[in-house]
Amino acid sequence: MGKVNVWKELEGAKESLREEVDIKIGDTEVTMEVKLVELDEIQEITDKYEDGKFFKKPVVEVPTQKGKKEISVPTDEKKYQRFNTHPKAKEWQKKVDKRVNYHMVYEFLADEYKPADDVDKAIEIMRDEKNGIRYSDVIAIVNKGMEVSGFGKQLGKQNGDS
């Protein structure tokens, strides 16, 4: 039996992979196309915001054997991780998660559906009180993008974001 070359069949398949997401706000309904985004790009977006450089992490005072110490939360320091549930840490994480999701929408949208060429300007447009999209629509686009990219079963906490 001869060799089967599946790689030729796969050629260009990722570039043409797109699915539609319908957004309905009141009487207005639009359809946008979502494209594949590779895992490393998704991880870069998450890392960009979670390192604390984009949104400065809040500082809380924690007790130590020598009195008190100020730490940035959330923290990776094992002995202070219990402070990652501090209200300030939770508030910061929620802010980061929202920004990550808006940025991911920008990446997932097919180029002709992006509201601007610049990610920051596009996020500003999407978040606009009057003309932007609802956060539930953001989650729907991210979920569809993850599905198109092959991560549908790995959505994790994003399904519960609000």
Which residue stretches of the chain are H helix? Answer: 6-10, 13-16, 39-50, 87-108, 119-127, 135-148
Distance from chain centroid for Cα 66: 40
Give the span between the Cα atoms of 69 and 60, in whole angstroms: 8
Q: What is the pLDDT of residue 2?
A: 64
Q: Which two tokens stand for residue 70?
A: 């100020």
Its sign, for the CA torsion 14, 15, 16, 19, is positive
DSSP H or E stretch at residue 60: strand 59-64
Asked if the peptide bond before residue 63 counts as cis, ω within 30 degrees of 0, the response is no
Concatenated DSSP letters of 116-130: -SSHHHHHHHHH-TT
Residue written as token pair 């300007």:
121
* 117-131 core/surface letters (b: 16 or more CB in 10 A; e: else): eeeeebbeebeeeee
pLDDT per residue, tens digit, the chain (162 aa), is: 567 788 888 888 888 889 999 999 999 999 999 999 999 999 999 999 998 889 999 999 988 888 999 999 999 999 899 999 999 999 999 999 999 999 999 999 999 999 999 999 999 999 998 889 999 999 999 999 999 999 865 544 444 444
As a dihedral over the C-alpha atoms of residue 55, residue 115, residue 105, residue 124, rounded to 10 degrees, the angle is: 20
Fold entry, domain 17-56+84-160: rbstp2171 (3.30.2220)
Q: What is the pLDDT of residue 162?
A: 42
Give the span between the Cα atoms of 140 and 103, in whole angstroms: 14
